[in-house]
Each structure stands twice: as structure tokens, then as C-alpha cells.
Structure 1
């Protein structure tokens, strides 16, 4: 069963906060992962891996390359859930 947008955002907020040290209050749908949250490429890989495991999703590299914001990542997870 697919997870809803709000649940994905909540889980992703926890993952980003734990992995990147970002304040939970700073993680919002419109925030840029790189520019606003200072997520580096290696950290994004860690976040993606944790999100794939948590939400039973497999995110293709081609899709990941298009992810710019938290909202983009939420949508990508939703599209690729099994």
C-alpha cells in the first residue's frame, strides 16, 4: 500500500534531520535540498537509501537527478513505491 504525501514528508523530515543535522522545522516541501538545507551529494545518497528502505521504494538514478526540493523527493518516492 502506498504511503501518503504527509506521511512521506514526516518520515523524510526525520531522515534528513538525522542524516544531515538539519533542524526538523527547516525541512519543508519548497526547500531546496542543496541550496537551503546544504545537503551534499553523498548525504543525498544516504537520505535516498534510507527513504527507499522506509517507504519500500526504488528510485531510479534518472529520477534522482531531477530532484531539487524536498517536495520533488516526496513526489519521487510516491511514484516509485512498490
Structure 2
């Protein structure tokens, strides 16, 4: 059984916090990684790799550019856990 979106969000917030120092409370579903959270592509790759490990999913490189918001990432991870 996969995690629910709240658990995925919390896990993702931890990863973002470790990589960027952003407060976990700032990592909310409607936030854009680049615009709101100011995460560059290099940090994003690290976040993706860590998320793959943490959640046991594969996030293909060509999918990463589609993950504009935190919600996009949570939804993707949720469905990838299937």
C-alpha cells in the first residue's frame, strides 16, 4: 500500500529542507519549485534522486520538467507507487 499524499508531502518537504535549507512548512502543494521555492535545476535533480530512494519510485528525467509544483511531484510519486 502506497503512502497517502500527506505522508508524501511531508517526506518531500524533508528532502527539500535537507537540500535547500527551506523550512518544511514552506513546501506546500500549490508552491512552484522554481518560482516560489527558488529551487534550481541542480538542486531539483538531487531532490528527485533522494525522492526516488525515499519513496521507492522511478522518476524519469523527461518527467522531471513536468513537475512544476509540489502537487505535481506528490501526485506523480503517489501514482508511481501505485
TM-score interval w.r.t. the shorter chain? over 0.9
Q: Using the alignment, how far apart are the partners of 2:32 and 2:22 within structure 1?
A: 13
For normalisation by structure 2, the TM-score amounts to 0.92
Q: Which residue of 2 is the match for residue 75 of structure 1? A: 75
Kept in 2: contact 1:63–1:76 (CA 8 A) = no
Unaligned runs of 5+ in 1: none
d(CA) in 2 for partners of 1:32 and 1:17?
A: 15
Query: CA separation in 1, counterparts of 2:60 and 2:4?
Result: 20
Q: In 2, are the aligned partners of 1:55 and 1:77 still within 8 Å (CA)?
A: yes
| CA–CA separation in structure 1 for the residues paired with 2:42 and 2:66 | 16
The SS at the match of 2:22 is coil
TM-score normalised by L of structure 1 = 0.92
Unaligned runs of 5+ in 2: none
CA deviations 1:31-77 (Å, max 9, x no partner) are: 01001101000100000111110100001223212110011011111
What is the Cα-based RMSD across aligned positions, in Å? 1.2
Structure 2 equivalent of residue 21 of structure 1: 21
Please give the residue correspondences for 1:1-82 in structure 2 after superposition, counting only pairs within 5 Å: 1-81=1-81
Matches of 1:2 and 1:62, distance apart in 2 = 23
